[in-house]
Amino acid sequence: GTPTAVTVIGLGPMGRAMAGALLRAGHAVTVWNRTPGRADDLVAAGARRAPSPADAVAASGLTILSLTDYQAMYDILGPVADDRRRPGVLAGRTLANLSSDTPDASREAAAWAADRGASFLTGGVMVPAPAIGHPGSYVFYSGPEDVFEVHEPALSVVGQPKYLGADPGLAQLFYQAHLDVFLTALSSLLHATALVTAAGVPAADFLPGALATLTDIPEMIGDGSQLARQLEAGEHPGDLSTTLMMGATADHIVRTSARAGVDVRLPEAVRSHYERAIAAGHGTRNWTALYEVIRADG
Ligand code: NDP
């Protein structure tokens, strides 16, 4: 269809990349940012600088928000939305908030928007700003499916949309769960490098092999569908990688870290999973039995 009008509020690295991609795709783009100078390059490229948040929202059916957190949305739109002299600024509009926060914050924001007559979509952006608008970029969405479908063509410019369902918290949950894997893996990579360099071994001798260890994980687990079935069923078959055997190694990593004077908190957290699983009687089961203590903490 014909490119629609889109507003982008929040011009950090991410919002600027989104507005730039929308302009290149032929959309009429209106932008607003608390620090106005961050819009200069976009205005030079054809975007319209809205004089106020109210004007920005009024310019387009769809407003994308790319801010540090959800509080920033209330800071920007709260005074406008609740200004009695300007009734219904949000009425009939769609807000797509692509900022990070908790799933509960997204649910509250959807209710807040609904109270003011607006539709609300939650987005979780899964790529860094330079990848926005390029192949491989993807974004999780949740919220009303009919609203998502109306705006899908414009949202597709930013990245491939992956719609998860009506619960506004879902996209935020998926974003965080992916980042849980990502951030923990990144910390472990740095921790392991510190362990090796503390022994005088150059990082370059270690890191390429360590990255291969990361890619060995999908090889071991497959596409995840079998693991998913086993975790859901509480089944932990196999005696090649038992909780006892892996737990002994987890303990060795803690002791080696302590001896080397590098951080022990990360390997201690991992060791505690094994210790608690063993204490709960999962020692001779597959390492996946850790799931039983991880999911039922406290
Ligand atoms: P920033 O945190 O740098 O975004 C800053 C934007 O939020 C700026 O426009 C800033 O305005 C605005 N802002 C913050 N607080 C307020 C406030 N109280 N009132 C008004 N405006 C405010 O991050 P990015 O642009 O990098 O990211 C935006 C979102 O995208 C974040 O939620 C981030 O987690 C998410 N994301 C980012 C990725 C990345 O690689 N960058 C990857 C995936 C998701 P001002 O310019 O005036 O300071």
User: What totals of helices (H) and strands (E) does the chain contain, helices first?
Assistant: 12, 8
**Ligand 1 center–CA 285 separation, angstroms:** 45
Q: According to CATH, where is 3.40.50.720 located in the chain?
A: 5-167
pLDDT along the chain (298 residues), means of 10: 92 98 98 97 98 97 98 96 85 97 98 97 97 96 98 98 98 97 96 97 97 91 94 92 97 98 98 97 96 87
Both structure tokens of 15: 């919002």
What's the CA gap between 236 and 291, in Å, rounded?
9
Residue pair 48/80 in contact (Cβ under 8 Å)? The answer is no
Both structure tokens of 74: 């209330």
Best CA proximity match to 111, nearest among 164, 148, 74: 74
CATH 3.30.70.60 at 174-294, yes or no:
no
- Residues with Cβ within 8 Å of residue 179, at least 6 apart in sequence: none
Beta-bridged to residue 160, according to DSSP, are 138
What's the CA gap between 21 and 45, in Å, rounded?
11
Pocket test for ligand 1, best of 66, 138, 140 (most atoms within 8 A of CB): 66
Question: Which residue, judged by its Cα, is nearest atom 7 of ligand 1?
Answer: 67
Both structure tokens of 282: 């999962």
CATH C-level class of 5-167: alpha beta
Q: According to CATH, where is 1.10.1040.10 located in the chain?
A: 174-294
pLDDT computed for residue 1 by the predictor: 66
Strands (E), the chain: 5-9, 28-32, 48-49, 62-65, 94-97, 119-125, 138-142, 160-165
Ligand 1 binding residues, C-beta < 6 A: 10-15, 33-35, 38, 66-68, 72, 75-76, 99-100, 125, 128-129
**Ligand 1 center–CA 105 separation, angstroms:** 16
- For helices 170-198 and 203-221, give the axis angle rounded to 10 degrees: 140
